[in-house]
Structures are given as structure tokens and as C-alpha cells.
């Protein structure tokens, strides 16, 4: 699957807006992810308001790339819908990766900005977006057309990391 091997983090974007059909497709991919007991306890805020984008770009010391993107998706867990709460971060990780791979498939660039479990980053996003208390910000994915065509990374495959029938 080419998208897995050609995806790279993209931190600089053209200003062109992302078409609504593509936004829907990346969200469809996100929601198609596996989750513990199929709990699907995810929610998303699509942000394309410039003021809010700027706000998100200061949600962590490493969120600067969000400020260069035309839009971002805030991926959140809904505490009230978690039937297997201890698995929520794994679920949302799978969901986020799906979103990023579909974005790559559509010619879009993304970068994952880590938020949970750092409480002050989560609080900043909750305040900025006016989230209810059950909404747990997990990460931000900046999305946009890459300013330069990304160059795929060299292979990271390392057979010495693979162990058979024990370590």
C-alpha cells in the first residue's frame, strides 16, 4: 500500500482550502478504524477559522505547523461513550493514522500534533473550542496541500527488531 510508504509529516502548506469532499473522505477513513469493543468513542472538530487555527498553533510548544495549515482536525475521545476507557488512546491512534493515510491518498499533507495525555495542552484546546467536560482532546492533525512535494523516507524496516516465538 503506497500511502503507508510515501507518507511523511508535512509542516508547510499551500494556502488553498481543502475541498469539502476530501474533508469528508478523511473523516470517513478515521471513523472506519478498529476500536476496543467497537466503542467508536471519537469526535472531531474541523477547524478552518483563522483565529482558531492560530490558537491551536500554540496549544503545545510543538504545534507551530498548525499555524501554516488552511485547516486542522482536532481528534477527541468522548468519555461518556467509552465502554473500555483504558483503550481510548489506542483507538484514537488507529483513527488518526487512518485519517492521515487517506489524506496522503488524496494528495494532502498532514502532521500529527501530540496533545493527550498532557493535561495543560488538553485544557488549552478545551478552552479554545469551548468543549464540554466529557470531550478529551487527543491530538491535532494539521491538513493542507503540501507546499513542496514530500520526499518519501528511506525504509525503516529493521529485521533485527523482529523476533519469532519469543525474544
Ligand X SMILES: Cc1cc2nc3c(=O)[nH]c(=O)nc-3n(C[C@H](O)[C@H](O)[C@H](O)COP(=O)(O)O)c2cc1C
Q: Are 104 and 150 in contact (CB under 8 A)?
A: no
> For ligand X, which is the closer residue by CB, 3 or 24?
3
Interface with ligand X by CB under 6 A: which range of 19-27, 31-39, 111-119, 122-130? 111-119
8 binds ligand X (CB under 6 A): yes
Q: Which residues contact 12 (CB under 8 A, 6 or more apart)?
A: 65, 68, 146, 147, 148
Q: Which residues contact 136 (CB under 8 A, 6 or more apart)?
A: 76, 77, 78, 79, 88, 116, 122
Output the smallest distance, CB 8 to ligand X, in A. Answer: 4
Residue with cell 487512518: 98
The residue within the footprint of ligand X, chosen from 27, 41, 53, 65 (CB under 6 A), is 65
Interface with ligand X by CB under 6 A: which range of 15-23, 55-63, 67-75, 81-89? 55-63
113 binds ligand X (CB under 6 A): yes
Strand (E) positions, the chain? Answer: 42-47, 71-78, 109-114, 135-144
Please, which of residues 138-167 interact with ligand X by CB under 6 A?
153
Binding site for ligand X (CB under 6 A): 8-9, 11, 60, 62-63, 65, 111-114, 153
Amino acid at each position: 500500500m503506497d500511502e503507508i510508504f510515501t507518507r511523511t509529516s508535512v509542516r508547510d502548506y499551500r494556502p488553498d482550502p481543502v475541498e469539502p469532499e476530501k474533508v469528508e473522505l478523511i473523516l470517513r477513513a478515521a471513523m472506519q478504524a478498529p476500536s476496543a469493543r467497537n466503542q467508536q468513542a471519537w469526535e472531531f472538530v474541523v477547524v478552518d477559522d483563522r483565529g482558531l487555527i492560530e490558537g491551536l498553533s500554540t496549544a503545545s510548544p510543538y504545534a507551530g505547523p498548525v499555524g501554516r495549515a488552511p485547516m486542522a482536525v482536532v481528534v477527541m475521545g468522548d468519555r461518556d461513550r467509552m465502554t473500555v476507557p483504558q483503550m481510548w488512546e489506542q483507538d484514537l491512534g488507529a483513527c488518526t493514522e487512518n485519517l492521515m493515510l487517506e489524506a496522503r491518498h488524496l494528495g494532502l499533507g498532514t502532521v500529527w500534533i501530540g496533545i493527550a495525555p498532557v493535561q495543560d495542552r488538553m485544557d488549552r484546546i478545551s478552552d479554545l473550542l469551548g468543549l464540554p467536560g466529557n470531550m478529551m482532546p487527543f491530538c491535532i492533525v494539521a491538513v493542507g496541500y503540501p507546499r513542496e512535494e514530500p520526499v518519501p523516507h528511506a525504509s525503516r524496516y529493521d529485521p533485527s527488531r523482529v523476533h519469532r516465538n519469543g525474544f
